[in-house]
Structure 1
């Protein structure tokens, strides 16, 4: 397990204040880390030591039990400085939520306790080769008194920094002795378990330092009490998917704000006015002023909608309890998050591209690496297509159809 000793956070105000301080630290050197693909081990250690990774641990287990709105704001603040670092704990929070919704008391005590002490969880979820991203080929099956995990996972964000891996698996055959029915299970296992091989091979154009490599599981032996059935969280009105999507929207909104800030700073310091404007400074060009106003409205709209979506998720879950809410409340939360995701996606991609439009030729210099905002936005927003967000919003309006419960909505 991690050697980091984590502080304890007790309030939303404290969490936000710490996030702002860390963001100021993480902003220094973010572009250089991206250019060199320098993995942020010291920064992730700082994040874990700050106590922010434990803010969703239920109060019954010693945590701050902070609401989704607060978690989203923490993620957004950090993403304004370095969206790579903001994305690294995304799955950490999602799989803590799975434990809250579907873990048994012993599992909750064990893993919540580890996180309070500074442990970090990364996902091993996505695969290649199936008909769709929802197909799972990685298996867990009985092996004597234990179980065996075999398969390969890709895009395992945060795996290079993780103490624990949350591995999405498929059990095909029931095992009465172990009390397991067929279905999907998440296996929680230490990252250094024999048979686990973490490969640093992530080569995306953006989000380059998220540690999103490949993990191979070759005959990995686990105990029954390391398995959590996923169905209780995913196929019930829990808000599980809405919470996960809220954090994705927070990352995109943070990228948008970071890009707008970078554009503002660059134009103030380095841009020259276009000669037809008849002004001495770029910041006095009326067309440039107009464009900045348009971009600012897009970013502010994304941030406001993110806050509204967070409030809807807060209302759709019970942070200190079983996590069940009314189907209507969860549906409202999912639709609100879908709206936030659309606007954050739009703002992140538009502003990070417009940075060069308003900055001029000088802004394209490779040594400045200002394009990391666009590369990060373009890469992260590929996580799930917003075209399906529009579909579910439209169906809810026209058909009174509730959005799906499948973990990514």
Structure 2
């Protein structure tokens, strides 16, 4: 499915490209949702635009744009269609994993494929474990340099559109055969590899066209150079989790802005004023004006905290962190990055995670509030099925279930009261 991709070289070009695509994608977003028409052509356009390679490091031919710019690109796409914005979420997360933990040979190989337009989708989550953090999909040795993957993954967003799957697996062979230490690995494998079965069974309330179905693995063979150990990114202060969560916050902020824009357009053009307001047009009803002011504040707050969080993640992921005791790199960042010791680096990463937690809470609240209030301010006509304005709320309600904001409050509260840094994992 790989296409010939354009080469984006600057943040301005990335934003302009995202805005132009967003205008295109917005036209039939509600219709695609209502008919559950998968955005295959739109994802082809997205891949061909070059936007999927904007985080490839400069040393490998990419634009090397910082997380804050990627967040803005994601937000712009989410205003138009949050399904399309979410599809490449894990693509960027697993590009980041290659940057943080891949070997030089892996970086050269995967980054060149990304610049050519390749798409990555996740195969990470499972059902049946005591918690979502448990991994049952196994990686077993099959000779000196070959391994076998068996298991089933769910919520595999974007898998229907992917060239590569990033599969979370568990290797627990105590003998360490195949040259691996026990632990969790990400296997990068072709989506059409023998033994891979991608099932289009995603049937939920919202985010209906993200292709987040089931992927089964039956004796899938991978080689050692297709595996990257995950702990290098999630057990060290790398900003890996903050990076991933920033993009989720951007999607929610985009939903909030999209819902507000839809409400404004509807009230301006189709709503009738309430008779007690004694006005000619709905937009002149003082109570409607008041409510729109409140909603505008919610959206602006979400967008402002997203910008602040993006800058904090820029600082966390752009630092060259060195362990003062050993002089070993803790984070292998781009040439010219700020150099700091491990303690200072950990503080910067913790601050980024807390800033992103704040942005995620604010965007979650705004997306759900505004997408629901759309009907409150627009009136009965807005509930007509053919308009499908409910897709904003259904998308917000579904996407914000990704990880609970109640735990964001916990980490923020512990930091304020006890000075406790947030944990190092992929969802904070």
Instruction: Name the residue aligned to 1:255.
Output: 255
- Quote the Cα distance in structure 1 between the aligned partners of 2:105 and 2:143: 23
What's 2:336 paired with?
Answer: none
Question: Following TM superposition, by how much is the alpha carbon of 1:41 offset from its aligned partner in structure 2, in angstroms?
Answer: 0.5
- State the match for 1:213 in structure 2: 213
The Cα shift of 1:179 comes to 1.5
> What do the CA deviations read for 1:8-45 (whole angstroms, capped 9, x no partner)?
00000100010000000000100000000000011000
Query: By how many angstroms is 1:3 displaced?
Result: 3.8
Residue aligned with 1:219, SS: strand
* Match of residue 25 from structure 1: 24
- Residue 144 (structure 1) aligns with: 143
How far did 1:178 drift? 2.2
In the alignment, the residues of structure 2 paired with residue 63 and residue 10 of structure 1 have an alpha-carbon distance, to the nearest angstrom, of 7
Q: Contact 2:78/2:85 (CA < 8 Å) preserved in 1?
A: yes
Which residue does 1:167 correspond to in 2? 167
Partner of 1:93: 92
Q: C-alpha distance in 2, partners of 1:329/1:34?
A: 40
SS at match of 1:267: helix
Check the 8 A contact 1:124/1:168 in 2, yes or no. yes
The answer on whether the counterparts of 2:237 and 2:346 sit within 8 Å (CA) in structure 1 is yes
How many residue pairs match? The answer is: 408
Contact 1:58–1:319, Cα closer than 8 Å, also in 2: no
| Structure-2 residue corresponding to 1:399 | 418
Aligned equivalents of 1:20, 1:119: Cα separation in 2: 21
Q: Map residues 1-400 of structure 1 onto 2, 5 A cutoff.
A: 2-145=1-144, 146-174=146-174, 176-318=176-318, 322-323=332-333, 326-400=345-419
Mapped contact 2:141–2:177 kept (Cα < 8 A) = no
Equivalent residues of 1:126, 1:154 under 8 A apart: yes
- Measured after TM superposition, the shift of residue 288 of structure 1 is 0.2
Cα distance in 1 between the residues matched to 2:204 and 2:229: 31
SS at match of 1:405: coil
Following TM superposition, the consecutive aligned residue runs of length 4 or more in structure 1 with deviations greater than 6 angstroms are: none
Normalization by structure 2: what TM-score?
0.94
The root-mean-square deviation of aligned C-alpha atoms, in Å, is 1.1
Unaligned segments of structure 1, at least 5 residues:
none
- Determine the C-alpha separation between the residues in 1 that align with 2:36 and 2:90: 21
Q: Deviations over 1:141-194 (max 9, x none)?
A: 101231000000000000000000000000011454522000000000000000
In the alignment, the residues of structure 1 paired with residue 179 and residue 379 of structure 2 have an alpha-carbon distance, to the nearest angstrom, of 64
C-alpha change, 1:384 and 1:362, in structure 2 (3 Å) is same
Q: Distance in 1 between matches of 2:414 and 2:7?
A: 43
Range with bigger deviation, 315-324 or 258-267: 315-324
Deviations 1:274-300 (CA, angstroms, capped at 9, x unpaired): 111011110000000000000000000
Q: 1:335: how far off?
A: 0.2
Q: CA deviation at 1:60?
A: 1.0
CA distance in structure 2 between the aligned counterparts of 1:210 and 1:319, rounded to whole angstroms: 33
Distance 1:319 1:254 in 2: 28
Using the TM superposition, give the Cα deviation of residue 334 of structure 1 relative to its aligned residue in structure 2, in angstroms.
0.2
